[in-house]
Amino acid sequence: YYATHQYFLSKRSLYLVVWKVPDGRKGLASALQWLRSIQARAPGSPVIMVATHYDQVANSTVCSSESPVALQRLIRGAVMAAPDADKLGLPRVLDSIEVSCSTRHNIKLLADIIYSVAFSVKPPGML
């Protein structure tokens, strides 16, 4: 099943890499696999990372290294701010956000980010 997904990756796309924040670092590792697949098939494509199910961890007592704040810090430092991210096999991650469909936490902000990124990125070859 996973092997066929690569055929649907296109350079002329904005990608949302969605993962469940309650899955912690394990979920983030799975998301990183998708980032590498995107970079391999559609180098330099813009990506927004979306951590879902935020309501399940927002007020819980998860260990500090698995907290949403710690995971966002990890994404921003190791993925978004990585020097030569493309050489590490990572695409252009332009933003990262936590959302909850149950509470509607950050849903409007996610829509605004998608709209903003979609209208600001240039197609490959026009950079």
| Fold classified for 12-120 | Rossmann fold (3.40.50)
Each residue of 26-38: pLDDT tens digit? 999 999 999 999 9
**Beta partners for residue 92, in sequence order:** 46
The model's pTM: 0.86
Each residue of 3-16: pLDDT tens digit? 556 656 777 789 99
Tell me: pLDDT of 69 over 90.
Answer: no
Tell me: pLDDT of 74 over 80.
Answer: yes
Judged by DSSP in three states, 44 sits in: coil
The answer to whether the beta carbons of residues 56 and 89 sit under 8 Å apart is: no
Q: How confident is the model at residue 1 (pLDDT cuts 50, 70, 90)?
A: very low
Burial of 59-94, coded b for 16+ CB within 10 Å and e otherwise, reads eeeeeeebbbeebbeebeeebbeeeebeeeebbbbb
Ranges of each domain in the chain: 12-120
